[in-house]
A and B are shown apart, each in its own frame.
Chain A
Amino acid sequence: MSERLPSGARRWPLWLGGIGLVTLLTLVSPDGILAQEISRSYGDFPLIGSRAAVWIAAQVHLLFAAFVLGVPMFAVVAEAIGIFGKDRKYDKLAKEFTRLLLVAYSATAIWGAILSFLLVTLYPRLWVYLTQIFAPSMWAYAGLFFLESFTLYLYYYGWDRWAEGRAKLMHWGLGIMLNVFGTIVMFIANSWLTFMMSPPADVTPDTSPAMVQFWSAFANATWMPINIHRLIANVVFGGAIVGAYAAYRFLIAETDEERAHYDWMGYVGNLIAIGALIVLPFAGYYLGREIYAYSQQMGVSMMGGSFAQLWILQAILIGSLFLAINLYLWLAMGRIPGGERYRKFQAPVLFVLATGLAVWATPHTIIATFAEMKAMGSAHHPRLGVLGVMSAKNTAVNLMILATFITFMLYRRGNKEATSSFAATGNWIQVVTLLATIVGIVSIGIYGYFVPAAVRVGLSVYQPLMVGAFMILFLVLDVPISRGAKSLGEIRWGQMPRISQYVLFFLAATFTWLMGLMGYIRSGIRQHWHVYQVMKDTSEGAFIPSHAFATMVVSIIVIVFFLFVSMVFALAMRSELKERRSM
């Protein structure tokens, strides 16, 4: 059986025609856009302005890019499980992941083209400056993008042709190459945006772009931290969007078999998102630390200046994610025989999560009224001082990560009963190390109140290290504990309440919102600089907008993305339908 072109790909002449028409009109116009902008630093975009136009295009492009870079990572892993574990179910899952990629890939390219055209016409000065420094990498980017696309099409359309033996291994190799190309493409694009954020110290406003050393501009201070952060975040995001797709398919499924499959797919997507989310804060710490190391001023602006309040929103978003992930897992335990044994842990976990969220979302300073200040004798409470300090917030976050990890471990044990002789001892060791970790995290949090800021910032490394060490120890101990464990029954896939699928949508929407918000903060901390401390932004939009405006733009981005991603889902489903009919 051969694959057909998805309908999106068949319409490429329409896209080309449209873009060609716009370009032609621009070229033939005697006083056209190009003629005007060549002598200008900035262009105008109707209604919403240049900044919002580029902002929306860049963020939607990035969301699609995150999806198409994240999904191949676990598609290739799923295929490997299918090959080496000899389980066709995983192979089918990997192909289903990849089908979503095809149309999403076109959407990424279209939004990338829109972004590029907007940059060229609305910010020509910046564009020319960047191209003078990065031109070689831009051409490499285009070439690798081509290779990546070609590999993707070969990977998907060759799935059934290269299904057995050595050909299957070669096919898997194609999947690995797809990831390699995609990762390099992302690393290249990251160098451009991180250069704008942290240009090398020897690049000043007087430095000609021709004199900027390519590699020092490319591998700038925040390049690798962003690479790592995005790599992990892409997996989280890809998992969440795949989960949402599976949830939709679950909700419209007509047979139990279909429902069971998409329940499982949603679970896998969610599992991937959770797994990567747990390590994401470590990458976040690294990035934040490098931003501070590059420029104290930039770091302080980000955490304590103009953007400080947005971290409260970030706390609410991530706190909501933790709540939703735990809710999904508790709901999922309902379809596991034996899962009811762990229901008693729901309340304490919920307590930790709710309290943690409340602490995390507390602003640094609660602005007191005159009467309150009079009653307290100063602007802050005489004993409590300022409430929302990093010590308390870090403690809350680490305890929330710990609680979510415990929920997941209980889920894993749902239908197993340990029979190993080491089980009782192992469980005790796990409980004792858990308590020790909690005591350690809380102690460091309290200690942080009594030391100078510089020491306090350093402490934020030890808490996640303790959490990480505990996780590793717990998983290592789980191996001998679960050896020879008795099964209490098979997981009843498909027997999930419908509301659980809405939780998956909640996760996808919240992740998208979070990415939009953090993208804004990362870009916004350059303030009124195109290239920080090198090229000033002198456009009308060279100011930090109100949080109300910023969150409204993020909100629009999320809706635009979801509308486009539903088109992707619809096209993927159509392609699948055609495939079935042709079988």
Chain B
Amino acid sequence: MRVVFLKILGFVIVIDLFYMGIGQWYLTQSEEHPPPDLEITVETDTYSLVGMGETVLKTKGGCLLCHKITEQGNTRAPDLRGVGGRAATRRPGMSAEAYLTESLRDPGAYVVAEFATAGGASIMPVADQPPADLSATELKALVAYLQSLGGEITVVITAEDVEAAEAKRRKSTASAVSTDPGFALLASQGCVACHDVTGTTRRVGPPLTEVRQRLSAAEIRQSIVDPNAVIAEGYQKDLMLKDFAEQLSSEQLDQLVNYLSGEVPLTQRLAHPAVHLFVLIVLFNGGIALALRVMRARSPADAADEPRSESSRRRIWVVLFVVAGAIVLAAVFYRGGQGDSPETPAAASTPKPEPKPEPMSDVALTPGSALDGEALYAMTCPACHGPDAKGIPGLGKDMTTSEFIQSRSDEELVAFIKQGRAVDDPLNTTGVPMPPKGANAALNDAEILAIVEFIRALQN
């Protein structure tokens, strides 16, 4: 029997190796990595831009799955050789650059007849949406490359393109961030405005990247509840809001402390999906084993052959006990898990429905009120926007030349400051969240209006 088994095993291994061998030696080998991140800036010269465009075409764009740029290649879509020249003549009155850009952003706008589907539509996916999901700069680089194929290169990268590309990159990487609710709180509560979490820049508050090495969980909690109790060396007192902890629920405070300290309480560990799975497996196997035991115990043949011993009865009780225990534990864990489930990045990065602007408070909004906008500004905004409101790179924008401020009414600006701007807001171009009321929850509407008036006075 053993010889037969070994013969069969050997036979199966030979078959297995035969097929593997085809994969190893007969097929063409290559790895396909996710597309590289290209550094395209306003300074990128045309030659480099065309090279990057070619990279986009061959990698992230996936263009060669259907098009070709050499004699060999796919013919599902138009041959791209000479497209730079042809593009200028496709649609009367439209430049080559405009035509190529339209072809990428809206492929159905003009479809070359012999490549249209039966319904006249295009099979090409939109280039600036998934799966290619090209950024504004990548799209322009691609257009530059296509123009280089027999045409004149007219593409210019602007600061807006770079800014839009950066915003898109941040948005896509936001989906890869931590799932920990404590991490989400760091962003939503505006901590990252003053504390660095990337280990790259110095901000007004001490960095949080190594906080768990410096402070215990209790000390971190104390620093949040009473910011002036212990001041890190080299940092100032009174910069952090004293009532910050009051803005958090006790659960949020725990989540924040747990995240920063790296300690995971037992209840949270037990609420983990892996534990739920374990309990499920215990319940499942316990249930099956119990059912089988009962079936055997009731079997008349068994009863006749083998009188049930005391020990087998005891085993049934042990199984019952295990199952009951598992049910109780499951209930306890489930309760522990309520509200603790970590938010997914998609959820964290999802723009929440626009909250309706809160009704203006009782304090009358009277322009030119006696409130000292400058003093209120100094208490709230300089951490990110600088003492002169000229902005701090990587944190807050320059408010003295802001088109955004100039184009909005006082009421709109008050509503905006009250609401803040999340990091995943498409209009957020800094990558840093603007906390509601600049993280100074004590401000009322009149005080915010005073700050707005102060900022207006600074406009160049």
Interface residues of A (CB under 8 A from B): 1-2, 4-5, 9, 12, 15-16, 19-20, 23, 26-27, 31-32, 34-35, 38-41, 109, 113, 116-117, 120-121, 124-125, 127-129, 131-132, 142, 145-146, 149-150, 153, 157, 205-211, 248, 251-252, 295-298, 300-301, 304-306, 309-310, 312-313, 316-317, 365, 367, 378-379, 452-454, 502, 505-506, 509-510, 513, 527-529, 532-536, 538, 542-548, 550-552, 554-555, 558-559, 562, 566
Contacts and interface: CB of A to CB of B under 8 A. Distances in A.
Interface string B277-293: 11011101111110110
B175 A558 contact: no
Contacts of A532: 130-131
A252 B4 contact: yes
A478 B302 CA distance: 52
A514 to B, nearest CB: 9
A9 B292 contact: yes
A548 B15 contact: no
A566 B269 contact: no
Nearest to A558: B16
A554 B20 contact: yes
A309 B28 contact: yes
B20 A27 contact: no
Contacts of A1: 301
A369 B457 CA distance: 74
Given A301-B65, A313-B27, A548-B23, A125 B179 contact: yes
Given A16-B281, A310-B27, A536-B172, A297 B351 contact: no
B344 A528 contact: no
A487 to B, nearest CB: 34
Given A205-B349, A304-B76, A544-B32, 4 more contacts: A2-B301, A149-B288, A306-B32, A313-B22
B208 to A, nearest CB: 13
A312 B26 CA distance: 10
B277 A309 contact: no
Contact of A513 (B16, B62, B273, B282): B16
Which range contains the number of B residues in contact with the other chain? Answer: 35 or more
Contacts of A128: 179, 273, 341-342, 344
B341 A39 contact: no
Contacts of A554: 19-20, 23
Contact of B4 (A251, A453, A546, A551): A251
B116 to A, nearest CB: 9
A35 B264 contact: yes
A206 B292 CA distance: 49
B214 to A, nearest CB: 17
Given A117-B277, A554-B20, A40 B4 contact: no
Contacts of A547: 23, 27-29
Nearest to B174: A205
B345 interface: yes
Interface stretch (B117-125, B364-372, B380-388): B117-125
Interface stretch (B50-58, B66-74, B389-397, B433-441): B66-74
B159 interface: no
B176 A536 contact: yes
B178 A538 contact: no
B15 A506 contact: yes
A379 B277 contact: no
B301 A15 contact: no
Nearest to B71: A379
A129 B176 CA distance: 12
A114 B66 CA distance: 40
Interface stretch (B6-14, B223-231, B411-419): B6-14
B24 A552 contact: yes
A124 B179 contact: yes
The residue among B15, B23, B179 with the most chain A CB atoms within 10 A of its own CB is B23
Contact of A542 (B20, B34, B280): B34
B8 A205 contact: no
Pairs A-B, 4 closest by C-beta atoms: A551-B23, A533-B130, A555-B20, A544-B32
Contacts of A296: 123-125
A548 B176 CA distance: 29
Contacts of A301: 62, 65
A34 B272 contact: yes
Contacts of A149: 284, 288
B332 interface: no
B168 to A, nearest CB: 11
Given A128-B273, A532-B131, A551-B22, A509 B15 contact: yes
Contact of B275 (A23, A317, A529): A23
The residue among B9, B183, B273, B280 with the most chain A CB atoms within 10 A of its own CB is B273
A10 B264 CA distance: 37
Contacts of B9: 562, 566
A535 B16 contact: no
Contacts of A313: 19, 22-23, 26-27
B179 A312 contact: no
